[in-house]
A and B are shown apart, each in its own frame.
Chain A
């Protein structure tokens, strides 16, 4: 194991959020839904804001969505992102009605427009951690 040590910020995964991260590790998007009224909620949290149930289930997400907004990160702020700057980060309306934010791969920000279709991809960054990213459809 001579791979360089992973030096980017790591998510502080809790029992509450573990299913989401385990899903990514297996290259599946899973989303938390209310066990009572089935409202999808993201980011994961303990209580449904619609019916106040604390029961939850995890259901597959399509990984499809549309561009809501974006930025191009020129100043990295964290040293570990310096080598890939500038990079594009997109905010995406998932088809399930919640949003995700992740890097957009393989596209020039100048061509982006609100509503463009994107698809989730998976990036294995350590043996234990897979991060989400998007590509244009």
Chain B
């Protein structure tokens, strides 16, 4: 049995994305959830499954309390950091394909600086226990520092350059300028990227994502119930999660230039029955520019070591061979932990992306990347 095409994205919702907020993560999540449910043409009474964000300050029962869900019969968590949202698609697709639920709500709300800096938050998380004991005491305390040695080794082995990473940042900024709900509209040139201060070499400020406040949500429905809803259904053709070797410390990983997505991607492509040439648009988790480059390689769009050349020359820009992060991504739209990537892919495949629309987008993919290398991927189509 395969879950290919058994589940659809039927509703999407977002709040405004801002730098800070006085609202709670729960309020933001509820607003986005209500928008997603209405977008699908459903009411909260139709929701019978909930997969909230582990770190989002809400639990599934909060949706019973606030929305009066009459029969919540499926709930789960996907604790994979930035890979959680796309892993939740897998979880929800299984639930509806298996007959456990009809309409599963996936939500993600974040308070950004309003809920403390990332460095303070991750110190409390069990997946960072090893890093906490053996790396943080010597000054490696934040994601930029965890990932910088992966990028440095890639540069040393393959000749990847800071300018190639900059191409990613500049491209996503151009895309964000076409989105009215993007935090960063100010133009960025490659020279601006190169002039931005070094954070953790080789990662500069403009290689790092934003911190944002806001929420996004999607509704996943059983395919046979999706066809009569308000929006055209977007099918989940293939979906998978993957965990790297040594998932809780990059330092001990046999190959630090390879992440969990390398294991997941072949499974998702096989499930969906599509090839790389079929992908019209890709929304790729972009906490750092290097992570985009690494994922392009680990998914097989190019060989390991060729990511730097791959992103050059406009290939990943709107109008290019593989438009990536048409909404601006975490780097320039907002850091909604990749739920905004799922929303954008859905818009692209519905043909609702306005000025950012990829012509004739029929098949696309979205990835997640979390914690110290967890990966997730969904391949979706009209």
Contacts and interface: CB of A to CB of B under 8 A. Distances in A.
Contact of B132 (A12, A73, A87): A12
A77 B142 contact: yes
Nearest to A80: B139
Interface residues of A, number: 40
Contact of B149 (A71, A98, A102): A71
A10 B140 contact: no
B119 interface: yes
B156 A42 contact: no
Contacts, number: 107
B149 A17 contact: no
B313 interface: no
Given A42-B252, A75-B144, A69 B139 contact: no
Given A11-B133, A42-B252, A74-B199, A91 B141 contact: no
A76 interface: yes
Interface string A21-55: 00000000000000000000011000000000000
A22 to B, nearest CB: 14
What is the interface residue range for chain B against chain A? 20 to 34
B276 interface: no
Given A72-B201, A78-B141, A11 B134 contact: yes
Contacts of A137: none
Given A11-B137, A17-B133, A73 B153 contact: no
B7 interface: no
B309 interface: no
B149 A69 contact: yes
Nearest to A98: B252
B190 to A, nearest CB: 20
Contacts of B156: 69, 113-114
A95 B242 CA distance: 30
24 contacts: A8-B139, A9-B137, A11-B132, A43-B134, A43-B249, A43-B252, A68-B149, A69-B150, A69-B156, A70-B152, A71-B202, A73-B139, A73-B200, A74-B198, A75-B199, A75-B200, A77-B144, A78-B139, A78-B141, A81-B139, A89-B140, A91-B251, A98-B252, A101-B134
Interface of A: 8-14, 17, 42-43, 68-78, 81, 84, 86-87, 89, 91, 98-103, 109, 113-114, 129, 131-133
Given A11-B132, A70-B149, 7 more contacts: A74-B197, A74-B198, A76-B139, A77-B145, A87-B139, A98-B252, A101-B251
